[in-house]
Structure 1
Amino acid sequence: MTTPAPLKTAKPAVPSAQLRVGVLLVNLGTPDTADAPGVRVYLKEFLSDARVIEDQGLIWKAVLNGIILRSRPRTKALDYQKIWNNERNESPLKTITRSQAEKLAAVLSDRDHVVVDWAMRYGNPSIKAGIDALIAKGCERILAVPLYPQYSASTSATVCDEVFRVLARLRNQPTLRVTPPYYEDEAYIEALAVSIETHLATLSFKPELIVASFHGMPKSYVEKGDPYQSHCVATTEALRRRLGMDDANLLLTFQSRFGNDEWLQPYTDKTMERLAREGVRRIAVVTPGFSADCLETLEEIAQENAEIFKHNGGEQFSAIPCLNDSDPGMDVIRTLVLRELQGWI
């Protein structure tokens, strides 16, 4: 009778808490340079995404390559130059997102198995570069954090698309989690309210009302099922409750229209014009859909819409900074990340 071979002793499992975990903060993106060539590269990548412009047919490609990419980069480069971080030679969005990652890493520094990095959906550093860096540091699990409070296919979903594309090319894939939208999360609403109250206390005037301006979206996208508009409404309603305001003194609008299609209304710029002509003289604008200040907040709101308001009779205008890497802003990111890392750390 053959004596059975002794069983091999299994290696003790590595405690899950000791596995290296990567956290990748992701924001929308930015040109690498504030000139026409840099903006052209960025716009081509951005506007070639079928999540952003859903009809990528021959007509759109002809318009994009024959008209938009020939003329728009020059004008947008001038806008970027108005808000560019010349000291670092980069956009404020890149500066702030890097700082958010560094501050989150400091908060998690007592967990030496957690690695934090950051990326841009369009431009650099790319999502691929971020994932490659985390894997190179031994991360077997990755939490992707799209820094968009309100979900939309053209922001949150396209981050996931790119993450999945990167992982699809890997034989040895890390385990993946993605943070959910946080449009009415208690920590987020509280941080927004605190930031508004803190900013208003610094002003030399009292705004007659506040406008909450969100990035726009073609109306047809919502009609096809995108929940973005409902998330913006939920954020605004939660903020009204927290601040003790109503829809007469905290208005919801949408900015950044592009093309000839009907977009979500009311439009921010038209609202600025209307309010000024109706006799409103003092106003403040908050941009709850942006986790970091960028071209759309620093130039479009703080400069362009301020000019529209004053040109039509308004007198005092203040743009409330985004949460950025402020203490309240970092509380939101920390809360979101630690919640989604449960069971991993």
Structure 2
Amino acid sequence: MTFITVHRAAQYQAAAPRVGVLLSNLGTPDGTGYAAVRRYLAEFLSDRRIIEASPLIWKPILYGPVLTFRPRKSGEAYHRIWHHDRDESPLRTYTREQAQQLGARLAADDVPVAWGMRYGTPSIRQGVHELVQQGCDRILLAPLYPQYSATTTATANDQAFRVLMRMRNQPAIRTLPAFADHPAYIAALGRSIAARLGTLDFTPQMIVASFHGLPKVYVDKGDTYAAECARTITALRRAMGYDAQMMPLTFQSRFGPAKWLEPYTAPFIESLPARGIERIAVITPGFISDCIETLDEIGNEAGDAFIKAGGKELALIPCLNDSPDAIDLLEILVREQLQGWLPGPRAAHGPAA
């Protein structure tokens, strides 16, 4: 065999196959300034999964009043919750930490973990290519949304598939299903809520569950998000011994004139003091990590409105973030989906319930 033949044989010899995991979340601007926030919002609000209106109608609105005025207001909100020491949003901090800690858990199985955002940077494209460059011929896409929606889980998967469409040698792909009432998720939520409640210097009269909203027409067209939110709150109430009066379900983040899922969080919370409910806690079980919707929209805006309406105390219960419960949960979910791809059964580090 000649040298050139040997060289070509080595060149085309397949590397040892590996399995990889790609965590993805919604996204974040790179900064709080007008340009950075506008760039992020332009990408986010151009997604046809997010805004289903005809581009002929929506684009003039988006590139007119929306992207003229909204970046400044959103930038101020991001600035209030920004991790200034790292110069990044909490969502970026927590998603990176989740990926790094999960990677440490899976290192013994030689499973690298990357992360990417649907909008902004680092991108899902970067995450896919990072894993492929590490020799991964099988990738588990793991959108970090407990409840399925076309506006979240589906669009994250769409973006990954767009990346694959441009690849000559595609890795095999699995996608992590939603985990609205997965026992591990409900158990992690219950422990987190109970632990936080135990640190408060008051006893909440009500624990309001606030999920991100969705236009009602999307549900009418078949999106299962509302049903999945109901599954989460039903399982959580059962696990913690609460009823619907003590732990009501609400929806936040309404945008535009269309009717969204109800009841709306903000007016619901503002109505409570008139009913004699002056001390509450708020949980956000539609989010794995704290972000602008939880920290500012609830922690700042809703909290201020509640106090102005006559409330005395509002405690925002943190999301799982990068806590041990969060990493235990991710390991359990990921290992369930990697069955058959890993060489043998291996117990997850964390408890299943």
Structure 1 and Structure 2 fold alike (TM over 0.5): yes
The one of 28, 31, 37 equivalent to 1:30 is 28
Q: Report what 2:100 is aligned to.
A: 102
1:222-261 matches, within 5 Å, as 222-261=219-258
Calculate the aligned-residue CA RMSD, in Å: 1.2
Instruction: Work out the CA distance in 2 between the residues paired with 1:280 and 1:128.
Output: 47
Task: Say whether 1:122 aligns with 2:107.
Answer: no
Give the Å deviation of 1:34: 0.8
Q: Report what 1:155 is aligned to.
A: 152
The one of 48, 64, 67 equivalent to 1:66 is 64
Alignment partner of 2:276: what SS? coil
Give the Å deviation of 1:274: 1.0
Deviation readout 1:247-286 (Å, 9 max, x if unpaired): 0100100000000000000000011111122111100000
Q: Report what 1:145 is aligned to.
A: 142
Q: Which amino acid aligns with 2:293?
A: E
Alignment partner of 2:161: what SS? helix
Q: Report what 2:41 is aligned to.
A: 43
Instruction: Work out the CA distance in 2 between the residues paired with 1:273 and 1:89.
Output: 33
Instruction: Work out the CA distance in 2 between the residues paired with 1:106 and 1:171.
Output: 30
Alignment partner of 1:171: what SS? coil
**Which consecutive residues of structure 1, in runs of 5 or more, have no partner in the other structure?**
1-13
Instruction: Work out the CA distance in 2 between the residues paired with 1:205 and 1:100.
Output: 31
Q: Report what 1:9 is aligned to.
A: none
Q: Which amino acid aligns with 1:166?
A: V
The one of 187, 191, 196 equivalent to 1:194 is 191
Task: Say whether 1:211 aligns with 2:208.
Answer: yes
Q: Report what 2:321 is aligned to.
A: 324
Deviation readout 1:106-147 (Å, 9 max, x if unpaired): 1112112x1101000000000001101111111100000000
Q: Which amino acid aligns with 2:160?
A: V
Instruction: Work out the CA distance in 1 between the residues paired with 2:32 and 2:19.
Output: 35
Alignment partner of 2:108: what SS? coil
Alignment partner of 2:272: what SS? helix
Give the Å deviation of 1:98: 0.1
Q: Which amino acid aligns with 1:76?
A: S
8 Å CA contact 1:209, 1:250 repeated in 2: yes
Instruction: Work out the CA distance in 2 between the residues paired with 1:247 and 1:291.
Output: 22
Q: Report what 2:74 is aligned to.
A: 76
Instruction: Work out the CA distance in 2 between the residues paired with 1:106 and 1:320.
Output: 27
8 Å CA contact 1:48, 1:56 repeated in 2: no
Alignment partner of 2:140: what SS? strand
Give the Å deviation of 1:57: 2.4
Instruction: Work out the CA distance in 1 between the residues paired with 2:247 and 2:328.
Output: 24
1:161-176 matches, within 5 Å, as 161-176=158-173
The one of 290, 295, 307 equivalent to 1:293 is 290
Instruction: Work out the CA distance in 2 between the residues paired with 1:109 and 1:174.
Output: 20
- Work out the number of aligned pairs and report it: 329
Instruction: Work out the CA distance in 1 between the residues paired with 2:150 and 2:338.
Output: 24
**Which consecutive residues of structure 2, in runs of 5 or more, have no partner in the other structure?**
1-12, 343-353
Instruction: Work out the CA distance in 2 between the residues paired with 1:120 and 1:240.
Output: 31
Q: Report what 2:3 is aligned to.
A: none
Instruction: Work out the CA distance in 1 between the residues paired with 2:107 and 2:112.
Output: 9
Question: What is the percent sequence identity of the aligned residues?
Answer: 53
Give the Å deviation of 1:19: 2.5
8 Å CA contact 1:210, 1:286 repeated in 2: yes
Instruction: Work out the CA distance in 2 between the residues paired with 1:329 and 1:135.
Output: 26
Q: Report what 1:280 is aligned to.
A: 277
Give the Å deviation of 1:35: 0.9
Instruction: Work out the CA distance in 2 between the residues paired with 1:248 and 1:81.
Output: 35
8 Å CA contact 1:146, 1:159 repeated in 2: yes
TM-score by length of 1: 0.94
Q: Report what 2:267 is aligned to.
A: 270
TM-score by length of 2: 0.92
Q: Greater CA deviation, 94-103 or 271-280?
A: 271-280
Q: Which amino acid aligns with 1:67?
A: P
Task: Say whether 1:306 aligns with 2:297.
Answer: no
Q: Which amino acid aligns with 2:299?
A: A
Give the Å deviation of 1:304: 0.5
1:171-182 matches, within 5 Å, as 171-182=168-179
Q: Report what 1:6 is aligned to.
A: none
Q: Report what 1:333 is aligned to.
A: 330
Give the Å deviation of 1:183: 0.2
Alignment partner of 2:242: what SS? coil
Give the Å deviation of 1:58: 1.4
Q: Which amino acid aligns with 1:290?
A: F
